[in-house]
Structure 1
């Protein structure tokens, strides 16, 4: 089992590794990884009947006193009985204080541990049948090797038993005072930094409901995945918002994200670690691996998780999901009192990929009953000034919302101008209450204390209010993307192979040397999994090369073949377009001489191959991510693969639909669809190859470190694919 410098194991690297929070009774896939999470009754955590505070204090000026007071107030709000535990006190805050957990007169659902060295306390809690423990103390995996060892001991104390642990190095944000006067679906919040969750929690002050806050800290036991799964099952939760520095385990997160997708609960994430600097900071903060950022983004896309960049976007996108339903139409209409404002908003929306369709002619004719004919009403709609003295303004908004192409109305208001802005805000709120379509307002005034904003817009739980144009259009893009994802999604864990195919045993024999394979052997590996390769023969003499060329059919390609030759063309070890016996004989001599000059080592021989010219060169490969295990990539191939870097990544398991989505990410997709009179490529055959490579990644994860099929020639539609070259490296 591999470990990083802080003692974390990499579950994706070895089939014998254990995913800590998996259900030990769960079925395993062919990689040996679990297909279900370990149960965690988190209702007992968030709504305990009994709470013990270990290390409680009421000594003025001590940090423990403030925390104890906070927990007493929280316990009263949730109806829990709280027991202080501290051998140095007889009473705390007027309550009897107990010497240790064994002296508490009732079974304890939740214990909050405030002592600096919690290991001994956790042993006692486990023995007393406590359900959950929260360890506040820091100085564990985030502090280096000694801290990682101390954290490993905490994890061991909770492994396999009934005690579940939140932390260490966590805050007590789960026990904040949440507003109970806000209606509608709520945001459930998960953070690995308490401070980074504060803006989302504070959004309650502008009317955005937040129901839960899980500060997971270092995740010695409970992790992000546990809370995603739990929150997705809560009826009051409309969206899960998370600030993530790294994942404890890639498989458990994928299982939890899959569960949320099947439940129809969106997940919105800020994930740090896009840059090397961010990744280093995340490790020092929580002692966690951040994982490959492109791989994390791929996992998010596969499970419909929305990734945003900032905490402001996290709030805005989350509130949009919480307050909206499935779109009734794909179109966005911009309604403003200024032509310039409308054009600006519509431009940003279209640039973000949103549909801004023209309104139906009948809709435009009706709008012109209340809007002067010289103003544009096709979309965006310019009213020249929202009517403030009669019912015309509401009629305009209702008419736009009645257009069958429109699913979202966006009204940018760049400044307050009462009474018009007050009437506009009220008309928008009233219209939103009467429709299942989405009504968004961008309140652009930097002041933010206007009555229209504070007293009308923010008091509605149906209007979605933004402060910037950019956040509005990005949130709407996420909204439409998620609901398109939902219509196509089916869990990949339903069909993931549980047992190895017959090809696996033969493939493992080819990889048994633990060394790089030659091209010839790598192609044998591909044949084992039904991936087509050119007709070819491995030869060790010029005469044999001539005979092979005659059997294969001219023209042919000749290549040096050996296990240490990943870039043969750079060394002059590839000859193309050979059309005669004399050319083949000369090529054999030139290749073997060039191999000696290049110090290429022992050759297995020279490959004589069928030449395949017509098609689109792609690359398909396998690599490994420290957290998510084997990954499969597909992109434009050939000699420019590293120049263009046009690659999409998939993390097994995934289905054929996901492969098609991956291909849709590629800038070079047009090359496959037919460019400048070229016929379209055989996309179905390409999808089939990627699915076969995925099967290899799942079944050979312990044996194969890397696979590159480059180029994979994708022939015109109906012609299939041919793997012209391959590199395979055994573990």
Structure 2
């Protein structure tokens, strides 16, 4: 079987390949079949031929050659002595005999030989793909050839992949400098490698055509030389069909009734013994909900002071939102009565698809709400919080309306998000716990938030890679983009599974979550505290500033503190480069006491901060921002850190509100500067109640000036990373949309 002049495979020929693979113990395409398939899609493979035993090598193949054993049971050819490199055609008879013996010793039967021309010398790269249920193809690129699982220098993405995304994957590799020709080595032709991966995993690539029974692919190694990227080996594994991404999309919904409900029904409250639903009604009353509360109950006349209605069908006017806390077996019947009356139902009841015995019950529930024209949130969740509507499932909820919207798979964590977020300075637009998301999905809510002018920042807590993949595709397809932060549960290595390919063995959750986040332009964080820090910064700062740099300036009192701050920033990939001499000289010309460090970090003692009663900060910040602009490397972020206890204890009695004037001076200097810079503040205490009260006051004042405030450097470092990543993501999305629009206009004009 020649691999030199293949034709693009039809659906029928692919089915034949799958059937043939199933008949083999290995469950694989032969290497010749796999390479013919690659070549048909424009992927470079060595010139070669499949020989039956005893056949001679055709004259058109040039020495040196690579000879590979063919056997229906053989997976790892090298381990069984089934590969010879750099041989000549007249050596084939001897090699055939040697391979017959070595394979027999390993328990395999030699049935043929694949003979190919040796690829040009170059770097060994692995490219592979493995299917995941509900996600599709996870694509891997890495270095190492047979040592890929030793070095694990790899990066993942999910198909379809665009060329810039593939280039970004290569940029994640620690060994990219090796590919680029470090220390006099061959410089790999990276555009050829990117093109190869694009032909495999791009929007119209080979992966998009393969039947669902093809579940793993390894191209290992790909030899990337100065002129070519050649797939020297190809392994296609067949197994049970793995379903791809969910393509069923609910009809577009108007989420207005959910985010601005005026009539709320509650199902499950008791007229005798207060329960979860009764507490929910009390929350609405205590939180100041001004709409109509309608308890649904077949017997009681009133519940929590509100008159009841026997069932949803008996409600006289449409209901925007219903909170359902009935036993799972009664939910579908209760909602069926709301056909034509109810917009959104949030089922907090459990016992549905999250447990095996509830799968059929959830299917019944989905069918019921679909027939009734009701949108379902949940089941197995806690509720929806909307600040402006005073709608919340949380007692004493934080209700200051804001621009941050959060979607959470976990109900319990959504309570923590509200509490910790509010304490961190976040004003929420909404927090929705979606539980099993049997109907309304995280991706659909993300799309709604992207279209909602009241929402500026989106937060996600997700535990499912399937849901994350849906969100990724939603963000890629959306015409607009907003900052998105993701806290992911289940990021351990346990997500990888036993696999026949290197790719499958390495495709663990701990690698896929970061890959999904990077590809979607989402900031991924590790803890609830980090989640709150990132959302606080993104919701406080003016993200429309045209930031061009990515460096950080540190300014404050305490040399050791500055060192720790620089370390925290470095861990988040943020640099604090030393200022050029021109900036240092300008700062040293200021009329301040000695003992300052002006090179970045800017370390100044309390005595310097006392100059002009604290207003010296305006001079320092102004000179820095002007100097970095002139130096051509403007800083994207400036973090001012102040030890409030030391400053006010040493200076407060004689100079008054020094800390407050420093904060105001930083804000004035930043506003006046031609260099757009995001300002952040770290306020440190000394453990005393008096200082804590001061910090609370300064925090409110700083946030009123548009400066996010953090208690520790680590929090500010996370925030700085998030701001940089999201500025790039939003900007790149806008540029791509503009390019697409311009291209479409050009084509329309030409036609």
TM over 0.5: yes
1:139 is matched with which residue: 335, 347, 351?
A: 351
Q: CA deviation at 1:455?
A: 0.3
Structure 1 runs not aligned, ≥5 long: 1-8, 15-27, 281-289, 497-731
Aligned twin of 1:329: 549
For 1:238 and 1:430, how far apart are their aligned partners in 2? 28
2:714 is matched with which residue: 470, 473, 477?
A: 470
2:529 is matched with which residue: 300, 308, 312?
A: 312
For 1:294 and 1:221, how far apart are their aligned partners in 2? 28
Are 2:94 and 1:94 equivalent residues in the alignment?
no
Aligned twin of 1:428: 663
Are 2:486 and 1:246 equivalent residues in the alignment?
no
Q: CA deviation at 1:61?
A: 3.7
Q: CA deviation at 1:163?
A: 0.9
Q: Is the 8 A contact 2:484 2:522 kept in 1?
A: yes
Are 2:700 and 1:458 equivalent residues in the alignment?
yes
For 2:455 and 2:661, how far apart are their aligned partners in 1? 27
Aligned twin of 2:490: 273
2:561 is matched with which residue: 341, 345, 368?
A: 341
1:172 is matched with which residue: 375, 380, 383?
A: 383
Q: Is the 8 A contact 1:37 1:255 kept in 2?
A: no
1:105 is matched with which residue: 316, 336, 356?
A: 316
| Superposed CA offset, 1:13-62 (max 9, x none) | 69xxxxxxxxxxxxx99779759774122221121232222233353543
1:39 is matched with which residue: 248, 252, 260?
A: 252
SS of the aligned residue for 1:335 comes to strand
Q: CA deviation at 1:103?
A: 1.5
For 2:458 and 2:397, how far apart are their aligned partners in 1? 16
Distance 1:193 1:339, change over 3 A: same
Q: Is the 8 A contact 2:685 2:695 kept in 1?
A: no
2:620 is matched with which residue: 392, 396, 415?
A: 396
Aligned twin of 2:128: none
| Superposed CA offset, 1:311-335 (max 9, x none) | 0000001111112224353331111
For 2:532 and 2:495, how far apart are their aligned partners in 1? 21
| Superposed CA offset, 1:488-541 (max 9, x none) | 347999999xxxxxxxxxxxxxxxxxxxxxxxxxxxxxxxxxxxxxxxxxxxxx
Q: CA deviation at 1:215?
A: 0.5
2:369 is matched with which residue: 143, 158, 172?
A: 158
Q: Is the 8 A contact 1:178 1:211 kept in 2?
A: no
Aligned twin of 1:231: 449
Aligned twin of 2:154: none
| Superposed CA offset, 1:189-229 (max 9, x none) | 11122222333312324532112011101111112112212
SS of the aligned residue for 1:378 comes to coil
Distance 1:316 1:362, change over 3 A: same
Are 2:600 and 1:379 equivalent residues in the alignment?
yes
SS of the aligned residue for 1:159 comes to helix
Aligned twin of 1:445: 685
| Superposed CA offset, 1:321-363 (max 9, x none) | 1122243533311112122222332243245332323335443
Q: Is the 8 A contact 2:579 2:600 kept in 1?
A: yes
Q: CA deviation at 1:249?
A: 4.3
Q: CA deviation at 1:118?
A: 0.4
Distance 1:228 1:154, change over 3 A: same
Are 2:268 and 1:51 equivalent residues in the alignment?
no
Aligned twin of 2:726: 482
1:122 is matched with which residue: 335, 338, 342?
A: 335
For 2:736 and 2:548, how far apart are their aligned partners in 1? 27
Q: Is the 8 A contact 1:50 1:108 kept in 2?
A: yes
Q: CA deviation at 1:424?
A: 3.0
Q: CA deviation at 1:178?
A: 5.3
| Superposed CA offset, 1:273-318 (max 9, x none) | 12266999xxxxxxxxx99443333221111111111000000011
Are 2:405 and 1:193 equivalent residues in the alignment?
no
Q: CA deviation at 1:137?
A: 0.8
**Aligned residue runs from structure 1 range 568-607, under 5 A:** none
Are 2:541 and 1:299 equivalent residues in the alignment?
no
SS of the aligned residue for 2:381 comes to coil
Aligned twin of 1:207: 425
Larger RCO (CA under 8 A, 6+ residues apart): 1
Aligned twin of 2:141: none
For 1:410 and 1:416, how far apart are their aligned partners in 2? 18
Are 2:642 and 1:413 equivalent residues in the alignment?
yes
For 1:397 and 1:48, how far apart are their aligned partners in 2? 47
SS of the aligned residue for 2:407 comes to strand
Are 2:574 and 1:354 equivalent residues in the alignment?
yes
SS of the aligned residue for 2:429 comes to strand
SS of the aligned residue for 1:141 comes to coil
Distance 1:451 1:400, change over 3 A: farther
Distance 1:430 1:104, change over 3 A: farther
Distance 1:50 1:493, change over 3 A: same
SS of the aligned residue for 1:377 comes to coil
For 1:72 and 1:50, how far apart are their aligned partners in 2? 13
| Superposed CA offset, 1:670-709 (max 9, x none) | xxxxxxxxxxxxxxxxxxxxxxxxxxxxxxxxxxxxxxxx
SS of the aligned residue for 1:314 comes to helix
For 1:321 and 1:146, how far apart are their aligned partners in 2? 42
Q: Is the 8 A contact 1:37 1:252 kept in 2?
A: no
SS of the aligned residue for 1:118 comes to helix
Distance 1:303 1:333, change over 3 A: same
For 2:468 and 2:564, how far apart are their aligned partners in 1? 41
Distance 1:425 1:245, change over 3 A: farther
Structure 2 runs not aligned, ≥5 long: 1-131, 138-202, 210-243, 386-390, 498-506, 741-751
Aligned twin of 1:70: 283
Q: Is the 8 A contact 2:495 2:509 kept in 1?
A: no
Q: CA deviation at 1:432?
A: 2.5
SS of the aligned residue for 2:337 comes to helix
Q: CA deviation at 1:147?
A: 1.0
Q: CA deviation at 1:446?
A: 6.5
SS of the aligned residue for 2:414 comes to helix
Q: CA deviation at 1:67?
A: 1.9
Q: Is the 8 A contact 1:223 1:248 kept in 2?
A: no
The count of aligned residue pairs is 459
Distance 1:232 1:371, change over 3 A: farther
- CA RMSD in angstroms comes to 3.5
Distance 1:248 1:352, change over 3 A: closer
